[in-house]
Amino acid sequence: MGTSSFYHPSIAFLMTAVVLPFLPGMRRWKWLLLIAPLAAIYGAFTNQPGDYLTLDWLGQTLKLGHVDRLSLVFAQVFAVMSLAGILYALHVDDRGQHIAAVLYVAGGFGCVFAGDFLTLFAFWELMSIGSTFLVMLNRTRESVLASFRYFIYHTVGGLFLLGGLLLRYKATGTFDFGPIAPSTAQPYDFLILAGFCVNAAVVPLHAWLPDAYPRGTVTGSVFMCAFTTKTAVYVLARAFAGWEILAIAGTVMAVYGVLYACMENNARRILSYHIVSQVGYMVAGIGVGTAIAVNGASAHAYAHILYKGLLFMGAGAVLYAAGTQRLDELGGLAARLPGVRVCSMVAALSISGMPLFNGFVSKNMTIFGAAEAHQTFVAMGLEIAAVGTFVSVGLKLPYFAFWGGRDTDWKRELKPIPRNMYVGMGLLSVLCVAQGVFPALLYNHLPFPEAVHEFVPWTPWNVLQACMLLGFSGLAFYLMRNVLTPHKALNLDFDWFYRLIGMALYHVISRPAAWIDGVWTDVWNVIGLRGLMGSAFGSTVFDRHVIDGIVDNTAYGTRGFGVVGAMLQNGKLQSYLGLMTVLALGIFALFFYGVF
């Protein structure tokens, strides 16, 4: 078992989850939560490539520490996000939320460093359990129901993954987790791909995301927006790079997500649809499969975790202070929440790809990679999605949340926002700007360093193109601002089909079952009850005349023998001699007649 030059970030998070239930007075011990993310940052930025923590178990070799540049870039951003997320959540007194969060993060790190499918599956399921509780612990009826739906989705995805890896082991004799060539793919590889696509929220397997994330806890959704889908992006990049079906699926995701985000009213639901859209960029880059495209997907995953975490922090802060996340109930808060407004705008401009922010240096690399690979449809689709991103998140969300065409709302009662929430938002804001101004901070960690020089973000054309795209998008929003006004209706998208299928199954199963139950009830009333009454009468007769006769006669006989025995035992010697004489004569008679 090799351990040199390697620290597994999951260790401290798992130890934290074990220790937390036994710490008295949560408020006094909250700062211990920072140990795990700080240790993770140290490990993620100092670990060297290689295979570590190999373990022989039940005849299988488990690789808990497979390290290369692809795993390191995801581990680094996971570590940074875990620190920002825990800083943001330090005010929370609910011990259960912290335990669920650290277990969830531990699962994410375990997946990133897994070198075999068995290890990957174990940490994959740990993520599913931890994230389910991050939704459930919001403790509302909607969040509990959403957590059950979320868990069912991810259980199905886990079963796809489990079935695929077991069938793959039967065919190949190994659980090694590595690239799978599309030309040699077998049915079990498609099962594994389906399991990964559930967690990646690939349309139409995405409905769990906009259903659960808006209903999670304020701090829990910050963690969830960073780990589940990006872990899926990592495993797709590890195993399925170059699969053209992913390029198509990613493009559909990018466009589909922004369309529904433009129609939404719930702030965190808008951001949830944009996770679908932004992950589409990454999935498309992985599907293109070239070095520069995979670099773009990895860079965009890194940038996305930072600005999407910041967006959820801003929306969560508004929800924490105002008590609502519905845009039609907000507005007039710009002057009352200036810190939240500034951080939210940094995140909004980052996701929109504005120059000087990290989305500009990551998103354009992915589009460039698709264009260089002559994937024109993919490149155009991603550009179209960029317009919708700026309209819905860059403009619509902050406008209606903080301004909304209203005067400053001084009458609304706002709950004071804890300082630690501002610290978390401030950390991510600085990183979003730093990576945008100094792209090398991001590019130096990408999985294919030899391809980084193929794309240069800070060229006059790239800057002009981005400014023109955002300028015309802003004009479109201004002209359509009345059309884009938030409405109270809930958009179901593919949930409509799932609910239709559920109702159809309900009627298909329940109506025949109800008919069978009705027929059986009639048969039972006519035949079953009469037969039961007849058998009861027969049992009564049998009990009285047979059972009782045997038992009663046996008792009477026993009593008679007892009476006779008592009479014979009178204490007189002559009576005993007479009885013995009678018995002797009887025995003699039997013997005599038996012989003759």
Q: What is the pLDDT of residue 527?
A: 76
Position 595 pLDDT exceeds 60: no
Question: Distance between CA 449 and CA 207 in Å, rounded?
Answer: 36
CB 352, CB 270: distance < 8 Å = no
* pLDDT surpassing 70 at residue 573: no
pLDDT (0 to 100) of residue 222: 95
- 431 pLDDT more than 80: yes
Please give the Cα distance from 238 to 247 (Å, whole number): 15
> Which pLDDT does position 576 carry in this prediction?
62
* β-strand partners of 266: 326
What pairs with residue 65 in β-bridges?
52
Q: What is the pLDDT of residue 248?
A: 95
Label residue 196 by pLDDT band (50, 70, 90).
very high
Q: Which residues contact 265 (CB under 8 A, 6 or more apart)?
A: 326, 327, 328, 486, 487, 488, 489
Q: Give Cα 559 to chain centroid, integer Å.
A: 78
| Spatial distance between the Cα atoms of 54 and 534, rounded to a whole number of angstroms | 71
Lowest mean pLDDT among 31-35, 414-418, 532-536: 532-536
Identify which of 155, 166, 227 has the alpha carbon closest to the alpha carbon of residue 191. 166
Mean pLDDT of 19-31: 81
- What confidence score (pLDDT) does residue 160 get? 95
Cβ-contact 253, 279 below 8 angstroms:
yes
Query: How many angstroms separate the CA atoms of 367 and 280, rounded?
Result: 12
Tens-digit pLDDT profile for residues 509-556 = 777 777 787 777 777 677 766 777 777 777 777 766 666 667 666 766
- Cβ–Cβ < 8 Å for 340, 111: no
**pLDDT reading at 93 higher than 80:** yes
Distance CA 227, CA 128 (A): 11
- DSSP-based three-state secondary structure for 501: helix
How far, in Å, are 5, 41, 561 from residue 9 at the CA level? 13, 8, 88
At residue 118, the pLDDT reads: 94
Position 539 scores a pLDDT of 75
pLDDT tier, 2 (very low <50, low <70, confident <90, very high otherwise): very low
512 to 275, 306, 436, 523: CA distances (angstroms)? 42, 52, 62, 16
> Per-residue pLDDT for 124 more than 90?
yes
Measured CA to CA, the distance from residue 389 to residue 277 in angstroms comes to 8
Distance in angstroms (rounded) separating the CA atoms of residues 198 and 207? 10
Taking the C-alpha atoms of residue 441 and residue 357, their distance in angstroms, rounded to an integer, is 12
Amino acid at 332: G
List, for residues 326-340, the tens digit of each pLDDT value.
Answer: 888 888 898 899 999
**Band of the pLDDT at 560, cuts 50, 70, 90?**
low
Q: Mean pLDDT across the stretch 52-81?
A: 91
Confidence of residue 244 (pLDDT cuts 50, 70, 90): very high
Compute the distance between CA of residue 382 and CA of residue 403 in angstroms, rounded to an integer: 29
Share of the chain above pLDDT 70, in %: 88
pTM as predicted = 0.83
Judge whether residue 466 has pLDDT over 80: yes
Average pLDDT across the chain, whole number = 87
Backbone angles phi, psi at 434, to 5 degrees: -60, -45
Judge residue 135's burial from the number of C-beta atoms within 10 Å of its C-beta, 0-12 exposed, 13-18 middle, 19 or more buried: buried
CA dihedral 356, 357, 359, 364 (to 10 degrees): 10
**Best CA proximity match to 82, nearest among 142, 9, 133:** 9
Reported as a single tens digit per residue, the pLDDT across 332-361 is 898 899 999 999 999 999 999 999 999 999
340, 314 Cβ separation under 8 angstroms? yes
Domains of the chain by residue range: 1-169, 241-493, 499-589
Q: What confidence score (pLDDT) does residue 572 get?
A: 62
Range with lowest mean pLDDT among 23-37, 129-143, 259-273, 289-303: 23-37
CA dihedral 120, 122, 128, 134 (to 10 degrees): -110
Cα 541-542-548 angle, rounded to 5 deg: 100
351, 438 Cβ separation under 8 angstroms: no
